[in-house]
C-alpha cells in the first residue's frame, strides 16, 4: 500500500495513521520526521536543510522532494508507505509524482479525513497541557477534576498559543486555500477516499480501513 493521508488540523490524522501502519505493516512517514532524520543522519540534502532550518528559513519544496525520495529509498518502505504532511499543495503533489515515477511506483490511494470547522475548533481549543509535568487533557473530552488544575501533579493547566480559536481559524483558512485542492486533483486520478472524521476514534478507524480494504 502506497498512501497519502491529509485533512484539516485536529482531524485525527496521527491516530488514524497509526491504525493504518499497524494494519498494513507500512511505515508512517511524516514531513517533520523525514526532515529531522535527514538532518540527524547528515545526508547530503540533510546538511543543506540543516543550514536553512538553523537560519530560520523555510525548506523549499524541491528540497523536501529530495528528502522524500531519500526516505522512500529505505528498506522499510519497499512494500509501501503512508505519507502524512506531504504533499500539502498541488505543487508538492507534482513533485511527489516525479519522485514516484523515478521509482517506477504509483500511489494506491489518497485518504482525506473530513471534519467541519466548528468541530475542529471544538477539538483543538479545548486542549490543555500541564505547566508542571506536561500531561495533556481536554476541557470536554477528558476534563480535570478541578478546573485549571492537572489531575496528575496539581500543576497549572495552560492553553498553547496555537490552540486559540483565532489561530485555529487562520490555520483552517490556510488549509482550505492550499491543501484542500488536493482532493479534486486526486479524485481526477481515481485515488481519493473521503472519510467522515466525526465520531469516536474506533468508528473513524473502521471507516478508514474499510475504504482501503478493497485495494
101 is catalytic: no
Query: Which residue out of 13, 122, 193, 205 is catalytically annotated?
Result: 13
| 74 flagged as catalytic | no
SS3 for the chain, per residue? CEEEEECCCCCCHHHHHHHHHHHHCCCEEEHHHHHHHHHHCCCHHHHHHHHHHHHCCCCCHHHHHHHHHHHHCCHHHCCCEEEECCCCCHHHHHHHHHHHHHCCCCCCEEEEEECCHHHHHHHHHCEEEECCCCCEEECCCECCCECCECCCCCCEEECCHHHCHHHHHHHHHHHHHHHCCHHHHHHCCCCEEEEECCCCHHHHHHHHHHHHHCC
Catalytic residue from among 2, 71, 122, 127? 127
Predicted local confidence at residue 37, as pLDDT: 87
Instruction: Note the pLDDT of residue 165.
Output: 93
Which residue out of 21, 36, 88, 103 is catalytically annotated? 88
What pLDDT is attached to residue 55?
Answer: 82
Q: What pLDDT does residue 145 have?
A: 95
Distance CA 22, CA 3 (A): 14
Instruction: Output the tens digit of pLDDT for each of the chain's 215 residues.
Output: 999 999 999 999 999 999 999 999 999 998 888 888 889 999 888 899 898 888 877 789 999 999 999 899 999 999 999 999 899 999 999 999 999 999 999 999 999 999 999 999 999 999 999 999 999 999 999 999 999 999 999 999 999 888 999 999 999 999 999 999 999 999 999 999 999 999 999 999 999 999 998 44
For the chain, domains (ranges, CATH) are: 2-213 (3.40.50.300)
Catalytic choice (74, 91, 160, 170): 160
Annotation marks residue 193 as catalytic: no
pLDDT of residue 215: 47
Asked whether the beta carbons of 90 and 137 are under 8 A apart, the reply is no
pTM: 0.86
Q: What is the pLDDT of residue 214?
A: 47
Residue 171 annotated as catalytic: yes
Amino acid at each position: 500500500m502506497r498512501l497519502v493521508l491529509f485533512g484539516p488540523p485536529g482531524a485525527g490524522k496521527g491516530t488514524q495513521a497509526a491504525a493504518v501502519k499497524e494494519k498494513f505493516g507500512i511505515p508512517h512517514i511524516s514531513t517533520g520526521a523525514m526532515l529531522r532524520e535527514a538532518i540527524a543522519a547528515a545526508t547530503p540534502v540533510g546538511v543543506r536543510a540543516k543550514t536553512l532550518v538553523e537560519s530560520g528559513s523555510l525548506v523549499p519544496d524541491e528540497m523536501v522532494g529530495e528528502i522524500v525520495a531519500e526516505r522512500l529509498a529505505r528498506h522499510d518502505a519497499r512494500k509501501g508507505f503512508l505519507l502524512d504532511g506531504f504533499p500539502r499543495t498541488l505543487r508538492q503533489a507534482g513533485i511527489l509524482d516525479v519522485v514516484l515515477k523515478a521509482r517506477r511506483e504509483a500511489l494506491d490511494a489518497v485518504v482525506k479525513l473530513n471534519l467541519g470547522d466548528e468541530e475542529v475548533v471544538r477539538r483543538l481549543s479545548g486542549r490543555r497541557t500541564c505547566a508542571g509535568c506536561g500531561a495533556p487533557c481536554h476541557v470536554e473530552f477528558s476534563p480535570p477534576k478541578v478546573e485549571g488544575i492537572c489531575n496528575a501533579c496539581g500543576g497549572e493547566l495552560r492553553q498553547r498559543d496555537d490552540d486559540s480559536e483565532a489561530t485555529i481559524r487562520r490555520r483552517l483558512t490556510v488549509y482550505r486555500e492550499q491543501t484542500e485542492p488536493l482532493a479534486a486533483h486526486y479524485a481526477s486520478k481515481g485515488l481519493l477516499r473521503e472519510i467522515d472524521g466525526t465520531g469516536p476514534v474506533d468508528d473513524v478507524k473502521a471507516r478508514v480501513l474499510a475504504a482501503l480494504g478493497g485495494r
